[in-house]
Structure 1
Amino acid sequence: MNRTAYLDIARKLFLVAMLAFFLLPFLWLATTAYKPSGDIFSIPPRFTFSPTLDQFRTVFRLFDVWNLLKSSVIIAAGSVILSLLLGVPAGYALARSKSRFAMATAYFLMAIRMIPSVAALIPFYMMMRDVGLLGTWMAVILINSMLNAAFVTWMMFSYFRGLPKELEEAALTDGCRQLGAFFKVALPAVRAGIIACVLLCLMFSWNDFLYPMFLTKLDTKPLSVALLSAYGTKDITWGTLGALAHFSTIPIVIVVLFLNRYFVQGLTKGIH
């Protein structure tokens, strides 16, 4: 084999090693959910065991799993929809704006997403308390949308800025209004970018812990907060944590697998 073939093999082996390195903790946690309690802390660790569903039975006995899952879905879906409704038109408006401050405005909105989560928590907590939304899904949806919409605006600003204006001008020449050109020409042309924004906002909202922890109550808490219940005062119930992690990770993994092609296209073509 020539040098190129050796380099190709070395590159693939390196990628496999890195993939195994990053997936090993997740695989360990996933298999923990199927281990008997006595095998979880065995020394030395046992790589062979008799699978059991006892950890899942415990989870269903101690938690209202379907209500937790429903809360996660409502919060994530609501945050994504509201973020897109605000961020996509704002990104388009900035991209087509002739103001010399358009670029600075876009990057200022991106800076909003970098605000530490805890810095926005206390004032937002007081606002939700005053308007009577504390303890509801809407409180979490609003704060997630505030941060994610700024991120979507910055992302879509880049996508629309890279879109030739001639496409919309041709639609306007054919009698289409500006709003029609936006919906019929601009939006379909940046579909991959919108899907990339959907997946990123979905992951931000689905995995969020801090805001749901303080802004929801017992019957509106999502799965991300329920995972904390596995941490006791003296130890961690790894079996319970592993079983709950299945419900927390599998839905988002399935969505990403279905939309992965558009996600990669959006990330590689959208930023200019």
Structure 2
Amino acid sequence: MAFATRKQIAFEQTAVLCFLAIFIAPVIWLITTAYKPASEIFSVPPRLDFQPTLDHFRYILSYMDVGMLMRNSVIISLGSAVLSLALGVPAGYALARSRWRYATGIAYFFLFIRMVPAVAALIPFYLMMRDIGLLGTWWAVVLINSMFNCAFVTWMMYSYFRALPRDLEEAAMTDGCTPLGAFFKVALPAARSGIIASVLFCVMFSWNDFLFASFLTRLDSKPISVALLTAYGITDVSWGAMGALAHFATVPIVLMALFLNRYFVQGATNGVQ
């Protein structure tokens, strides 16, 4: 029995490593491409004993304003996250504590909004932003990302608040606290993990967005996700430049996810109860 158990564990670990290798291989290829000389990027078989070079990083720093691109990505991502939380957290709490029989249906409606294909909203939103003069600005991308992210935050926080007991809030109101005070002083601190998980989801969705950012911004407001497209030339693709840009596009969001991983896992798990 013990031998069979060890064999099963070894098989499971091998399967996990195989799947991990399949998913991580493109990432490793992209990272190493940023440090390979152009002549060795497509060497067959692929070589790992190459002489590292920073030429691709020097190239993009010379011909592209990476600081502006990163600034635009940060503004769009944080702006969307703040606006989504400002609207979605109170909405999720109101639905979770509501005794109205249609509250659950409304919560599912917000989930349905998040499932709508993004491209379906692009053209009407493009025309709206053009008519009100926001086309080409950060606000256009922040607003449309907030529309989708707010629906997700509302659904997630509805599930999270519904899983929290009402005893502490009722005790606070018994002691003279208003419903609004109970929300800020009791419910929000108790839902800290869910809020942090929502922030991470919103930032990741907005940071990685390409469709909205490519159509709704201009040259001075484009984020780093759209700048990756500049690696595609007329006759070829500058894979080294793309690999270098990918560092700036992935490292900040990966570091944030690793730093807040504990809250992310706890909030995401509690939010689906």
Q: Distance in 2 between matches of 1:162 and 1:117?
A: 30
Pairwise CA distance, 1:191: 1.1
What is the SS of the residue equivalent to 1:2? helix
- The worse-fitting range, judged by mean Cα deviation, of 39-48 and 100-109 is 39-48
1:7-86 equivalences under 5 Å are 7-86=8-87
Q: Are 1:232 and 2:233 an aligned pair?
A: yes
Pairwise CA distance, 1:64: 0.4
The equivalent of 1:102 in structure 2 is 103
Q: Distance in 2 between matches of 1:97 and 1:8?
A: 47
> 1:37-56 CA distances to partner (integer Å, 9 max, x unpaired)?
11112233323200000000
Q: Distance in 1 between matches of 2:46 and 2:164?
A: 55
Q: Distance in 2 between matches of 1:87 and 1:248?
A: 27
Pairwise CA distance, 1:228: 0.5
Q: Which amino acid aligns with 2:258?
A: L
1:49-198 equivalences under 5 Å are 49-198=50-199
The equivalent of 1:246 in structure 2 is 247
Pairwise CA distance, 1:122: 0.9
Q: Which amino acid aligns with 1:88?
A: V
RMSD: 1.1
Q: Which amino acid aligns with 2:157?
A: M
> 1:23-73 CA distances to partner (integer Å, 9 max, x unpaired)?
110010000000001111223332320000000001111210000000000
Pairwise CA distance, 1:269: 1.6
What is the SS of the residue equivalent to 1:143? helix
> 1:64-114 CA distances to partner (integer Å, 9 max, x unpaired)?
000000000000000000000000000000111111111110111111111
Q: Which amino acid aligns with 2:132?
A: V
Pairwise CA distance, 1:254: 0.2
Pairwise CA distance, 1:116: 1.1
Q: Which amino acid aligns with 2:116?
A: I
The equivalent of 2:259 in structure 1 is 258
Q: Distance in 1 between matches of 2:28 and 2:46?
A: 14
Q: Which amino acid aligns with 1:261?
A: R
Q: Distance in 2 between matches of 1:196 and 1:13?
A: 31
Q: Distance in 2 between matches of 1:137 and 1:270?
A: 30
What is the SS of the residue equivalent to 1:135? coil
- The worse-fitting range, judged by mean Cα deviation, of 154-163 and 12-21 is 12-21
Q: Distance in 2 between matches of 1:176 and 1:262?
A: 28
Q: Distance in 1 between matches of 2:31 and 2:42?
A: 15
Pairwise CA distance, 1:163: 1.1
- Where in structure 1 are there 5+ consecutive unaligned residues? none
What is the SS of the residue equivalent to 1:175? coil
Q: Distance in 2 between matches of 1:104 and 1:43?
A: 56
Q: Which amino acid aligns with 1:262?
A: Y
Q: Distance in 2 between matches of 1:80 and 1:9?
A: 42
> 1:152-210 CA distances to partner (integer Å, 9 max, x unpaired)?
00111101111111111001011111111101111111111111111111110000001
Q: Distance in 1 between matches of 2:122 and 2:271?
A: 31
Runs of 4+ in 1 over 4 A off after TM superposition: none
- Where in structure 2 are there 5+ consecutive unaligned residues? none
Q: Which amino acid aligns with 1:64?
A: D
1:200-239 equivalences under 5 Å are 200-239=201-240
